Chain A
Amino acid sequence: MSSEAGPLTTWGMSWRNLCRQPLRTLLTALGISIGVAAIVAFGSIVRGFWASTNAAIHFSEGDMMVFQAGVAADLFSSLDEAPTRAALLNDPDVVEAVPILMHIMPAPRLRFGFTIGMHPEDMRARGRHLIRGRYPEADDELLLGSVAARLAKLDVGDRTYLARRHFRVVGVFETEVVYFNSAMVVPLTGLQKILNRPGQVSSFQVRVRRGADPALVGQRIERNHPNLFTVTGAEQYHKVDQGLEMANALVAAVSLLAFIIGGVIIANTMWMTVHERTREIGVLRAVGWTRRRIVTMIIAEAAGVGLLACALGCLLGAGLAVLSTRVSVTAQFVDPVFDWQPFTIALVTAVVLSVIGGALPALRAAGISPVEALRHE
């Protein structure tokens, strides 16, 4: 029988060694993949928060949001509708200022009864998002976002209630903003009555004159009106809400935890495998393999486990993130974005922790005396 096998390489040796104990390799990779999955799932969800926040700020060609200055959270912002709108429209570059009142209140079958109050004419100006029904015309009529309609099992013509008041669903809309899709939109005056906040709104969505720089307009508004904060992008949202920053910090904490746990798992496995293969490593040293080549072989094995863990973790993490859009607890505010960032972080984390986790066992292997190793049982 003639052999068709290819040449053996150091990398090939690493691969063969990984295949020797496939179950151990798989279990180790699975252990690490949980950390990787957490990075991918949380990372893509937080990226989704950022994307949704950006989309909310720029919804229907808006350029910025305006809030009360100094609030702890966007929902606590309170502005006098008429004077603030007049002040905003007084700016030469502002062409539109849409008042919005936001609140969270109990609603059947919705974990978060996210409610938005807008004037019906402003709703109609955003008509392309209505997928069925019509716009509210009375204070006891509401629009439902597509996610809210699905979760609440409501559709056009159904009745529901908000804050112990009955409402009729007259339309369903869908936007690119998951927060909006999870919301109920009611006439602004009606919501102001329910909340006992006549003439009060949370924010304004502002559109500037074509050609004007929204950032400069925002700075001018803040300068002229110290009681206002302007937000032109998600990166500025921390001025009115720290939620995004906290989410980012959470991802960093999860990544660090995954890094530590994964590093320990891989170091443990590689330490065991080096111990079990002490005699073989002694043989390799005895036939002339250098310490560097031994280190390369062990690190390559660790990196192989890391890459496998990365692949498994990315699939698992992406699956969890997608699943979170189908579970009622999270579906109202989760819309993961699978761009390069969480996957790159996962890949870098997996490879770096593999190299670090494999380094100590590799150095141990390289330091093994061939004589002692060949005596090893």
Chain B
Amino acid sequence: MSECRSPPGHGLVREPETMQNASINATPLITARGLIKRYDDGRVTALDGLDLEVAAGEFVALCGPSGCGKSTLLNLIAAIDRPDAGTLTVAGRPLRDLTSAESDHYRTHTVGLIFQLHNLLPNLTALENIQVPLIAAGMRPAERVRRARLLLEQVGLADRADDRPPMLSGGERQRVAVARALANRPKLVLADEPTGALDSRAGEAVLDLLTAMRQDHGITLVVVTHDVGVAARADRVLHLLDGRLAD
């Protein structure tokens, strides 16, 4: 996979025509100020005073070399990890102050996560995997099934509802993962290398799906990627280097 670079005509901040996309709201959905995250008792600095704003409805690609802090930033925005310093606000909610229960609620209702290796539960069918976040949301069983079926149709896998992940191709698994991420109709979808484990054709299909879903559901999309193709579709490409946005 080639290192992602801004496609022709794309700087750190994309050209005005994309920013003028009707679905993008000027109000920032994500705001980070002086974000610091260290590991190994402070010996490793993953994020070093990062500042960031992502508008509601925007599609942002996060690029950079391995270890630059991309996944760490995604984890902090997903509230599965906490910053050591700085502020991180998503949808007006400061994530650092969230209690454990509030973090669970936030992850259930505000964020959808897509992982590089799909991370579907192998003993559940495609339909059941999509229901997993719906259980967390406390949705009624019949409604869960109805919603999961609808999402499977939208990702083009209505006929694979009863298949378990080992019976699906890599691209199909990732499409189920996309459906799972969208199950609770989140404002924000965070994807960590969503095409990283797929061949180019399957990767393209997943990317088509993500962008279509973004249009249909009006979601904000933040994608960590090394893939030039992914970056080319983003409204903005942000480069991280040593825990900060590159100039």
Interface residue ranges, A against B (CB under 8 Å) = 1-3, 5-10, 13, 16-17, 19-20, 279-280, 283-291, 293, 369-371, 374
Given contacts A283-B121, A374-B115, contact A3 B132 (CB under 8 A): no
B161 on interface, CB distance cutoff 8 Å: yes
Q: How far is the CA of A280 from the CA of B165 in the complex (A)?
A: 13
List A contacts of B161 (CB < 8 A). 1-3, 5
Q: B104 touching A9 by the CB < 8 A rule?
A: no
Q: How far is the CA of A5 from the CA of B136 in the complex (A)?
A: 19
List A contacts of B145 (CB < 8 A). 5-7
Smallest CB separation, A21 vs chain B (Å): 10
List A contacts of B162 (CB < 8 A). 1, 3, 5
B220 on interface, CB distance cutoff 8 Å: no
Q: A279 touching B119 by the CB < 8 A rule?
A: yes
List B contacts of A293 (CB < 8 A). 135-136
Q: B133 touching A17 by the CB < 8 A rule?
A: no
List B contacts of A287 (CB < 8 A). 107-108, 113, 132-133, 136, 180
Cβ contact of A291, chosen from B100, B128, B131, B132, cutoff 8 A: B100
- 20 A–B contact pairs at CB < 8 A? A1-B161, A3-B127, A3-B161, A5-B145, A6-B141, A7-B144, A7-B145, A8-B128, A8-B131, A8-B144, A19-B123, A279-B119, A283-B121, A285-B104, A287-B107, A288-B184, A289-B104, A289-B132, A371-B81, A374-B80
Q: A8 touching B149 by the CB < 8 A rule?
A: no
Q: How far is the CA of A9 from the CA of B142 in the complex (A)?
A: 11
List B contacts of A8 (CB < 8 A). 124, 128, 131-132, 135, 144
List CB contacts (< 8 Å) of B101-120 with chain A. 101, 104-105, 107-109, 113, 115, 119
List A contacts of B180 (CB < 8 A). 287
Q: How far is the CA of A56 from the CA of B100 in the complex (A)?
A: 65
Cβ contact of A5, chosen from B81, B104, B127, cutoff 8 A: B127
Q: How far is the CA of A15 from the CA of B234 in the complex (A)?
A: 42
Q: How far is the CA of A226 from the CA of B105 in the complex (A)?
A: 76
List B contacts of A16 (CB < 8 A). 123-124
Given contacts A3-B149, A287-B113, contact A10 B100 (CB under 8 A): no
Nearest first, the 5 A-B pairs at minimum CB distance are: A288-B108, A7-B141, A3-B161, A288-B136, A370-B80
Of A3, A290, A371, most B-chain CB atoms within 10 Å? A3
Of B81, B100, B135, most A-chain CB atoms within 10 Å? B135
A373 closest partner in B (C-beta): B80
B75 on interface, CB distance cutoff 8 Å: yes
List B contacts of A2 (CB < 8 A). 158, 161
List B contacts of A20 (CB < 8 A). 123
List A contacts of B136 (CB < 8 A). 287-290, 293
Q: A286 touching B113 by the CB < 8 A rule?
A: yes
Chain B interface mostly: helix
B216 on interface, CB distance cutoff 8 Å: no
Q: Contact size class for B?
A: 35 or more
Of B127, B132, B145, most A-chain CB atoms within 10 Å? B132
List B contacts of A286 (CB < 8 A). 78, 80, 107, 113
B136 closest partner in A (C-beta): A288
B6 on interface, CB distance cutoff 8 Å: no
A370 closest partner in B (C-beta): B80
Smallest CB separation, B238 vs chain A (Å): 21
Q: B131 touching A371 by the CB < 8 A rule?
A: no
B17 on interface, CB distance cutoff 8 Å: no
B207 on interface, CB distance cutoff 8 Å: no
A291 closest partner in B (C-beta): B100
Q: How far is the CA of A288 from the CA of B101 in the complex (A)?
A: 9
Q: How far is the CA of A126 from the CA of B15 in the complex (A)?
A: 110
Q: B121 touching A280 by the CB < 8 A rule?
A: yes
Q: How far is the CA of A293 from the CA of B131 in the complex (A)?
A: 15
B101 closest partner in A (C-beta): A290
Cβ contact of A10, chosen from B107, B135, B159, cutoff 8 A: B135
Q: A288 touching B100 by the CB < 8 A rule?
A: no
A20 closest partner in B (C-beta): B123
List CB contacts (< 8 Å) of B57-81 with chain A. 75, 78, 80-81
Q: How far is the CA of A293 from the CA of B136 in the complex (A)?
A: 8
Smallest CB separation, A151 vs chain B (Å): 54
List B contacts of A283 (CB < 8 A). 115, 119, 121
Q: How far is the CA of A264 from the CA of B136 in the complex (A)?
A: 31
List A contacts of B149 (CB < 8 A). 3
Given contacts A2-B161, A5-B128, A9-B135, contact A371 B108 (CB under 8 A): no
List B contacts of A284 (CB < 8 A). 132
Q: B81 touching A288 by the CB < 8 A rule?
A: no
B125 on interface, CB distance cutoff 8 Å: yes
Q: How far is the CA of A83 from the CA of B84 in the complex (A)?
A: 95
Given contacts A284-B132, A285-B80, contact A9 B123 (CB under 8 A): no
